[in-house]
């Protein structure tokens, strides 16, 4: 994910001849020469900030740029706070995995689901085992049956090369 920095032009960075100016209290001052608008903003002790650069003519607002940047940063921080990251954990098994090992893996699956993660359960087939995918399907069905109170199938079991996998998510409470 690339984050592009959007630069807001202020004061003498604005290179167009005329701009539509909005005062600090929201009142439209009309279309003014850029230099005159900057002078007017400086007289009031504020900056001329370009808020709509694509408009014809560009729209600028007289405001305190430091406060504006602070408000934008505060909004970005607030929106990040409410995001949740869902991690997909993977459990790998073989069709001939022993009973105790399957129970151990199911305990891990329960723990991952309680933590709010999704779980991808993969059965790996080696050699001639790939001819007997029904054994792998039986293991996955058993896991789903044992975890029916904690998990819901988000992706049905399917073959991907020599692996059979399914995706489990936590059941809504």
Q: What's residue 107's pLDDT?
A: 94
pTM for the whole thing? 0.55
Q: What is the mean pLDDT of residues 9-18?
A: 85
Distance separating alpha carbons of residues 116 and 111, to the nearest angstrom: 9
Distance separating alpha carbons of residues 74 and 29, to the nearest angstrom: 29
Cα 76–Cα 81–Cα 82 angle in degrees, nearest 5? 105
- CATH 3.10.20.80 domain span(s) along the chain: 11-81
What is the fold, at CATH topology level, of the domain defined by 11-81?
Ubiquitin-like (UB roll) (3.10.20)
Q: 3-state class of 26 per DSSP?
A: coil
- CATH 3.30.110.10 domain span(s) along the chain: 88-170
User: What is the tens place of the pLDDT at every residue in 84-119?
Assistant: 778 899 999 999 999 999 999 999 999 999 988 999
User: What is the tens place of the pLDDT at every residue in 54-65?
Assistant: 888 889 999 998
Taking a C-beta distance cutoff of 8 angstroms, is the pair 114, 106 a contact? no
Taking a C-beta distance cutoff of 8 angstroms, is the pair 28, 41 a contact? no
- pLDDT confidence tier of residue 6, bands split at 50, 70 and 90: low
Average pLDDT, the chain: 88
Q: 3-state class of 32 per DSSP?
A: strand
CATH number for the region 88-170 comes to 3.30.110.10
């Amino acid at each position: 994910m690339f984050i592009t920095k959007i630069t807001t032009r202020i004061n003498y960075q604005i290179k167009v001849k005329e701009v539509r100016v909005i005062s600090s209290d929201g009142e439209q001052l009309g279309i003014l020469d850029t230099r005159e608008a900057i002078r007017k903003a400086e007289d009031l002790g504020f900056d001329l900030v370009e808020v709509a650069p694509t408009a014809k003519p560009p729209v600028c607002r007289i405001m305190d740029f430091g406060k504006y940047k602070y408000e934008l940063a505060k909004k970005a921080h607030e929106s990040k706070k409410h995001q949740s990251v869902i991690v997909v954990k993977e459990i790998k098994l073989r069709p001939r995995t022993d009973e105790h090992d399957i129970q151990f893996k199911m305990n891990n699956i329960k723990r991952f689901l309680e933590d709010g993660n999704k779980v991808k359960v993969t059965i790996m087939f080696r050699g001639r085992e790939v001819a007997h995918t029904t054994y792998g399907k039986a293991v996955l069905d058993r896991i789903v049956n044992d975890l029916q109170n904690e998990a819901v199938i988000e992706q049905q079991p399917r073959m991907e090369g020599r692996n059979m996998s399914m995706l489990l998510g936590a059941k809504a409470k």
